[in-house]
């Protein structure tokens, strides 16, 4: 593993792109940092109930239902009326 960025008081780690050959997210460093940060924050919020939150969020190249659920927490609310 190689440390690539320090972001909001959390170290963000990534594996080399060769270890995730089917996941293009790892080819775009900035996008990977953002998506990994979403999983990290979600993990911080829910790891006491679901200890595998970060791994589940990152699974299937960030296409899992767990990532989608975490992402939903950060979507702006549309006001009614």
| Confidence at residue 77, expressed as pLDDT on a 0 to 100 scale | 84
**pLDDT range class, residue 74, cuts 50, 70, 90:** confident
- For the stretch 19-52, pLDDT in tens is 456 899 999 999 999 999 999 999 999 999 999 9
| Confidence at residue 23, expressed as pLDDT on a 0 to 100 scale | 92
- DSSP per residue, 3-57: EEEEETTEEEEE--GGGSTT-GGGGSHHHHHHHHHHHHHHHHHHTTT-TTHHHHH
Contact indicator for 14, 36 with CB cutoff of 8 Å:
yes
| Confidence at residue 22, expressed as pLDDT on a 0 to 100 scale | 82
């Amino acid at each position: 593993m190689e440390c690539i960025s320090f972001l909001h008081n959390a170290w963000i780690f990534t594996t080399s792109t060769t270890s995730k050959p089917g996941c293009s997210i790892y080819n775009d460093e900035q996008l990977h940092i953002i998506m990994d940060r979403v999983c990290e924050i979600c993990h911080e919020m829910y790891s006491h109930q679901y200890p595998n939150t970060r791994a589940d969020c990152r699974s299937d190249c960030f296409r899992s239902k767990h990532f989608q659920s975490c992402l939903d927490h950060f979507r702006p609310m549309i006001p009614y009326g």
